[in-house]
Structure 1
Amino acid sequence: MKRGKAVVAALALLTSGLTSGLVAGCGDGSAVSDFGTVVRGAKGTTVRAELRPGQRFSLAVPDNPSVGDDWRLAAVPDARVASYISEERKSAGQGPGSGGTAYFVFNTKSPGTARITLRDCWRCGQSSTPPDEQSRRQSGEAVFEITVR
């Protein structure tokens, strides 16, 4: 009976260590720690990037949700060229209102091209349509033309 209790205690300790290791490994609440090659863009720009098959990459745009930014992937690209993994955010500072960067993470697949559009609907809330003139002026798109060779 003592041996059974020791096994249970060892398993509980091992499980506890694994769980805390997994939680600690995420950092910043991010689901993805490898952004791969970072391709930076911004509202009103078109950026071109050439990548290799099987390469991880991220499309990055300046982001500050506290002032109204809400970046979204307009449409998933052709899955034969690039597969979408996740959207991540990294803050530039510790204080409230500090901006940061939104990352849209992908893996390249086969040779080809994909046009990926990110839209920032400024102060739109749950809607994808700007509610007023100020929101329309502040909203915009960042376009990325990805070529896989």
Structure 2
Amino acid sequence: MRRRRAGIASVLLIAAVTAGCGGGAAVSDLGVVVKGAKGATVPVELHPGQRFSLAVPDNRSAGDSWTLEALPDATVASFISKEARREDAQGVTYFVFNAKRPGATTIRLHDCWRCGGATTPPTEESRLRSGEAIFDLTVSPR
């Protein structure tokens, strides 16, 4: 009976940990946060080993839907996760990465406004309100 209770307790503990108790976010450390926006190109300078997040304003109820257009050069940075959070009554989406080796790459985030899961805007208004935030990443040696 004791073994069974210990087994059940272990299963419950694992379920609680994997469910992300305490906020539901997969990543608690966003690292260096770099803010961007539709229509903007932002330079990002980091060193190998630094965690960083590219942050974009996200109003899902209005129709925003941000995606990572393509993975960056894997020798320069690795993608960890996409995190949606609320800050100061505003939605923010974070794309979390680790800087790896010296080099440069461009990371493009695309907001397909009111696309409803499609990858191209379905209407003229959607096309006009969609756009991308561009981040020019340089990882420099220490």
Change (3 A) 1:55 1:69: same
> Which of the residues 118, 121, 125 maps onto 1:127?
118
Q: Give the letter for the 1:7 counterpart.
A: R
Tell me the SS of whatever aligns to 2:16. helix
Note the C-alpha offset of 1:116.
0.4
Check whether the contact 1:57–1:107 (CA below 8 A) recurs between aligned residues: yes
Check whether the contact 1:65–1:99 (CA below 8 A) recurs between aligned residues: no
Task: Please list the CA deviations of residues 104-139 of structure 1 after superposition, one character each: whole Å capped at 9, or x if unmatched.
Answer: 011111000010010111001121111122111211
Say yes or no: does 1:38 pair with 2:29.
no
What RMSD, in angstroms, separates the aligned Cα atoms of the two structures? 1.8
Tell me the SS of whatever aligns to 1:84. strand
TM-score scaled to structure 2, two decimals? 0.88
Match of 1:137 in 2: 128
**What is the alpha-carbon distance in structure 2 between the residues aligned to residue 14 and residue 67 of structure 1?**
42
Task: Please list the CA deviations of residues 33-87 of structure 1 after superposition, one character each: whole Å capped at 9, or x if unmatched.
Answer: 1111111000111111110101111100000111100111111110000011111
Q: Give the letter for the 1:34 counterpart.
A: D
Task: Please list the CA deviations of residues 87-113 of structure 1 after superposition, one character each: whole Å capped at 9, or x if unmatched.
Answer: 1100237xxxx6410000111110000
Check whether the contact 1:26–1:33 (CA below 8 A) recurs between aligned residues: no
Task: Please list the CA deviations of residues 14-33 of structure 1 after superposition, one character each: whole Å capped at 9, or x if unmatched.
Answer: 44345435545451x21111
Q: Give the letter for the 2:86 counterpart.
A: S
Gaps of 5+ in 1: none
**What is the alpha-carbon distance in structure 2 between the residues aligned to residue 12 and residue 51 of structure 1?**
45
**What is the alpha-carbon distance in structure 2 between the residues aligned to residue 9 and residue 128 of structure 1?**
49
Match of 1:51 in 2: 46
TM-score scaled to structure 1, two decimals? 0.85
Tell me the SS of whatever aligns to 2:2. helix
Q: Give the letter for the 1:109 counterpart.
A: K
Match of 1:8 in 2: 4
Check whether the contact 1:59–1:104 (CA below 8 A) recurs between aligned residues: yes
Check whether the contact 1:130–1:139 (CA below 8 A) recurs between aligned residues: yes
* Structure whose CA Rg is larger: 1
Match of 1:100 in 2: 91
- Aligned residue pairs total 140
Q: Which runs of 4+ in 1 moved over 6 A?
A: none
- Tell me the percent identity: 54
